[in-house]
Structure 1
Amino acid sequence: MNIVPEQNAESAKQRYLISGVLIAVVCCQIWLIFQKAINWDEFLHFGQIYELADGRLSGSLQSLHVRLFGWAAMAAENVITQIQIARIAMLVCVLFTTGCIVLLSRRLVDGETALLSGLVYLTAGFVFTNAFTYRPDPVAAAALMGALSLLVFGSFSWKRVILSGLLVGLAGALTIKSVFYAPCFAAVAYLQWRDTTDGRFHIVYRSTAVLVVAMFAFALIVGLHGSNLPAASTQGSSLGGKIDSFLRFFEFEQIRYVLAEMALAPLLTLGLILLVPVASGLPRNIKILLLGLCGPLLCILFYRNTFPYFFTFLLPPVCVAITPVLAQLVRRYGFLPVIIVSLFGPAFLLVNEPYGTLERQRATISEIERLFPEPTSYLSYSSYMPEYPRQFRSLISGVALGRYWQEREGQIARDIEDGRIAFVIATGDALDLVYQTDGPAPLLPASDVAALRSNFLRYSDTIFIAGKNVCSQGEEQELRIFRSGVYSVDGGDLVIDGRHIADQHSVSLTAGTYLAGPVQGGCVKLWALDHVPELPEDFPEGPIAGGF
């Protein structure tokens, strides 16, 4: 039943207005796909595609996306373009989700207001700049909203029940936080139960069947996906470990992003504030439906990773829930003022986007490929070089850093001493504290900090290459080489175990301890490369960490 009847006075002009704004918003997002920097989370998830290809991916939980989007790694030669192509697929999923929002909203309001609910979603603050972000969330949201649409419209047939269950199982295989949508499905089942006139028992067992099919599909998909993957090596990679890591009641670790989202999506925030008084006069079954659609918001109380990309997944059912408020606002103020308010967030984000970061990312990746033509192990906050083997995924977040302290403390230093790290890309809090300051770096153990500072030379503001700074202290000093290979002298002549190596020349060294010192005093750099590296004149300096 529609709680707001169709209004004959709603003209085609209003429908064209909303459709035109929707198209303009999508065009801006398509433009951002090729202008917005790749954020660390995109590099992380895209890097898993290369890990799968190289046999380095372990654990089947929340990594199904590597099977669905592995084709993107073959769609272009450079990784930035590959991710941008994958972003297009993400945006297609979000547009499907938007269509489901409009369709579900038609259960509550007229066609024009339903279109407006889709616009509210696409312009809802961080959703605008993260709708195309490469990660499993947009696909999972599309699957869940598609399942809800199947259950709300049409007959509650076995075909719809099974297909909905399969979609829910797929979403769960993509991300375990799909369980946050449980209140939405419970409310839809209740709505069907109240609306049926053919007996209610079949609604109960068919609703149960959705859950059974979803669980079966989840187990089957995860099992098939992980059948040829090595088991996760750490406790934190298990299902229980993931739940324990990301669920903390009333910690509100990323509450700043929740508050920012509220400010950047004023129409959505207003809709939630006014929903209680507006819904007070609606039928009970509609009230329960709206309550269930808002149910995913409860996760803010205990879910730690409420980063900006999360709202693309969280808000679709909420945008359906506020449609009664949108109908009231439109009746009172008209469509144009409401549309203008919805565009505040996108306008702010477009103006404040740091557009130069993407070019610095391209330059950094290209320069590393020039210095290290063959895949070489490295250390960084995220998979900035997806085709190269990266050490320590533990550097990604506070949760993973805590796990590193518990399970592998000092492993970075041990790997450096074993010669397993050729270069460092210094981004993220942990590595920034090591290289961008000379003071304490408490996010990593002291042994790691010492090893990182003493065994890598600054090449650019973000690239640090294995090597040593050999300084004169009146006599030759012990020089410990951890990585066997060719080393190049830079900044003066050097004597190593009595052997004279001229400036700009190279020498082959095996791992071990030597006596070394500069011939003319001062300090001389010893790069772990077969040549002295020289940064291109046009190399762009500055941060390479893409924002949200």
Structure 2
Amino acid sequence: MSEAVTPVSALPHPAGVSGRIALRARLLLVGALAFALGLKLVLIFRININWDEFYYLSFVQDYLRGSVSDRFQTIHVHFFSWLPAVAESEIGQILIARAVMACCAIGSALLLLGIARRFLSREAALFGVLGYLSTTAVIEHGTSFRTDSIATLLVLLSLFLVLRKPGGPRGAAFAGVALAVAMLVTIKTAFYVALIGPVIWCLGAGSRDRVRLALAFGLSFGLVLGGLYMLHVFSLAQPAIGGATGYLRGTAAKVFLEDGPMPRWPELLVDIAQNPLYWFLAVQGAVIAWRAARARDTDGGWERWLPLLLAVPILTPLIYRNAFAYYYAFILPPAAILVGLVYDRIRQSASDARQLRSLRLLALLIVFQIGILLLRTTANLPDAIGPQRGTLDVVHAVFPEPVPYIDGYGVVSGFPRAGFFMSSWGVDKYRDAGEPVFRDLVAKAQPPLLLADSPSLYGALVPGVTVVPERALLPEDVAFLQANYLQHWGMIFVAGKDLDLPVSGDATEFEIAIGGDYRLESDAPLLIDGIMRRPGDVVTLAIGIHSIDADPGTIHVNLRWAAALPPPPGEPTDLWTFFSASQ
């Protein structure tokens, strides 16, 4: 630890604002850090719920229904199976889960602070962690209900156990347990698991010591990973078909090879552009760490390489396909050590009474970092959950009881869902297969509700909306959905037929894909399957071909799912408002 560096408050300081800031540097940093952590408990109720948070919740509900078959990245169903018992609505369940994730994020920040103290002075560690908590990814996604929030806590816990307390073989064994659980939470934990070997090499006092550490970690990691995985698989009502090896091989090929190098370079550039101070200081800190590690007179042996080694995950966006915005909250924590190294280097320069420029620079860094935190927090304070809550309230008003439904992300998790996950990866797989799926899916599940919560569904069903070709459904599926669902309210569609009849009044045939009761919407009586029906009548239609016969001049008729109640008054929500942006 770098306690030889004099605290800023003890250094000669210039008069004026810079001097007052320098005098209170530690107090300001502690206060800002506490403020940043407290904000996490506020923003969970304000930030728009991302589509994969809804999807993450849907696994919990599916597990309680006995329909989870995915073995990987679903271990959380055991952690959160209590959610439906404490909140009725999907929004309420996610907000409670976010509160749990906020506690995870606070724990992660404290663990990161403890890890940083191995390499940095107290002030520098505070500054580095504050920099991490002020990044866009952490503010907007750090408490999201997804794998990353849990995995970040477990990864940092494992590093703390190895680097700080208890350390040694016992710490390595506990670290193996933590990383095994994290690996079940999300497979991308493998990026950190790969670091453990080099970390053990750097920490070991010799070959024998390194072998002891490696064995302690490897045995606990393997036993816990294998044991928990098998218990999880046995708990699933419908074990997935196919071996784990095949799944992992296919996943690795998709996320590392298929899209070439830097597959998410736009997201990387956006994160750098949004967080220039953090990235700039991290690069400067890497230079400082590199020079210190290569210096012949530096004590510490291989340990001096640890700050650089721990920061290696920030390079993974160069090869990882799923390095979306939220991913950076998972990989940026260790880089806080590099940020803190810059702070300590400037502070060392400021220890010379003549180096008042360095002292002013430290004051400026503190003010700038706190300002970034305040600006980003203010930008996220407006309520972005209201439109989502309103839309789901309408869904439950239209269908008071659960019904099978189609959507892209499992947003109405209290209802049994039919269909594939319409992330970019999911749509890629669907389009690569080149086979329409919705006719068979509807025949099997008979879903009277469709929520167009993905660009693929929204573009297929809402007139005038187009999506990029790689997110579009196949033409056969678009035609099938348009022929069998009617827009009810905004993103909400229900089973129905929109029939254009010949002006001559000749009989017309139509196909029903979802059997059940339909309400007739027309301007005049007409014959359906030879029986006279009046506007507003409820007609029971079985799956198959039916006929409709109307008087000449009747050119437009709707048949709408009769159990769908009228939506309450209010302006419908579109997809872009529901998710605050195109997802």
Q: Give the TM-score of the pair, scaled to structure 2.
A: 0.86
The residue aligned with 2:240 is: 232
Q: Which range is displaced more, 369-378 or 440-449?
A: 440-449
**Aligned equivalents of 1:91 and 1:304: distance in 2?**
27
The RMSD of aligned alpha carbons is 2.7
**Contact 1:4-1:109 within 8 A present in 2 as well:** no
The verdict on how the C-alpha distance between 1:345 and 1:455 changes in structure 2, with shifts beyond 3 A counting, is farther
Runs of 5+ consecutive residues of structure 1 not aligned to the other structure: none
Residue 75 (1) aligns with residue 86 (2): yes
Distance across 2 between alignment mates of 1:159 and 1:23 = 32
The equivalences for 1:523-538 within 5 A come to 523-530=556-563, 533-538=565-570
Match of 1:243 in 2: 252
Which residue is 2:496 aligned to?
467
- State the match for 2:318 in structure 1: 301
CA separation of 1:98 and 1:426: change in aligned 2, threshold 3 A: same
Residue pair 1:173, 1:218 contacting (<8 A) in 2 also? yes
* Aligned counterpart, 1:436: 462
Distance 2:47 2:166 in 1: 43
- 4+ runs deviating over 6 angstroms: 234-237
The reply on whether 1:476 has 2:518 as its aligned counterpart is no
Aligned-residue sequence identity (percent) comes to 24
Q: Distance in 2 between matches of 1:502 and 1:354?
A: 52
Q: Which has the larger radius of gyration?
A: 2
Which of residues 390, 395, 411 in structure 2 aligns to 1:368? 395
Q: Distance in 1 between matches of 2:560 and 2:256?
A: 45
Q: Give 1:227 deviation, angstroms.
A: 1.0
Please, which moves more after superposition, 535-544 or 298-307? 535-544
AA aligned to 2:536 is Q
Q: CA deviation at 1:169?
A: 0.9
Aligned to 1:112: 123
* Matched positions, count: 542
Q: Give yes or no for contact 1:413–1:447 (8 Å, CA) kept in 2.
A: no
2:330 to 292, 305, 313: 313
Q: Which amino acid aligns with 2:442?
A: I
How far apart are the structure 1 equivalents of 2:199 and 2:225?
A: 21
The answer to whether the 8 Å contact 1:130/1:312 transfers is: yes
Distance 1:293 1:354 in 2: 33
Q: Name which of structure 1's ranges 97-106 and 487-496 shifts more when overlaid on structure 2.
A: 487-496
Deviation at 1:67, TM superposition (A): 0.9
Structure 2 residue runs of 5 or longer lacking an equivalent are: 12-21, 295-301, 351-357
Map Cα deviations across residues 433-477 of structure 1 (whole Å, 9 max, x no partner).
212345887522221110011111111221111100122212221
1:117-136 equivalences in 2 (<5 Å): 117-136=128-147
Q: Distance in 2 between matches of 1:466 and 1:345?
A: 49
Q: Using a 3 Å threshold, how does the CA distance of structure 1 residues 23 and 2 change in structure 2: closer, same or farther?
A: closer
2:109 alignment partner AA: T
**Could you give the per-residue CA deviations for residues 189-210 of structure 1, whole angstroms, max 9, x where no partner exists?**
23322xx4xx551233213421
Name whichever of 2-11 and 364-373 sits farther off.
2-11
**1:9 partner letter:** A
| 1:367 CA drift (Å) | 1.6
| Aligned match of 2:36 | 25
Aligned partners of 2:445, 2:550: CA distance in 1, in Å? 24
Closer/same/farther in 2, CA of residues 341 and 436 from structure 1, 3 Å limit = farther
Distance, in Å, in 1 between the alignment partners of 2:436 and 2:46 is: 39
Contact 1:394 1:404 in 2 (8 A): no
In 2, the alpha carbon distance for the partners of 1:319 and 1:482 equals 56
User: Are 2:60 and 1:49 equivalent residues in the alignment?
Assistant: yes
**TM-aligned CA distance change 1:209 to 1:387, over 3 Å:** same
Post-superposition Cα deviations, 1:51-84, rounded to whole Å, max 9, x if no partner, equal 1111111132111111112222322121111111
Report how far residue 157 of structure 1 moved. Answer: 3.5
Post-superposition offset of 1:107: 1.6
Q: TM-score, normalised by structure 1?
A: 0.91
CA distance in structure 1 between the aligned counterparts of 2:312 and 2:77, rounded to whole angstroms: 30
Q: Tell me, in whole angstroms, the C-alpha distance in 2 between the residues paired with 1:231 and 1:164.
A: 29
Equivalent residue for 1:383?
410
Which amino acid is 1:499 matched to? I
Say whether the 8 Å CA contact 2:162–2:175 is kept in structure 1.
yes
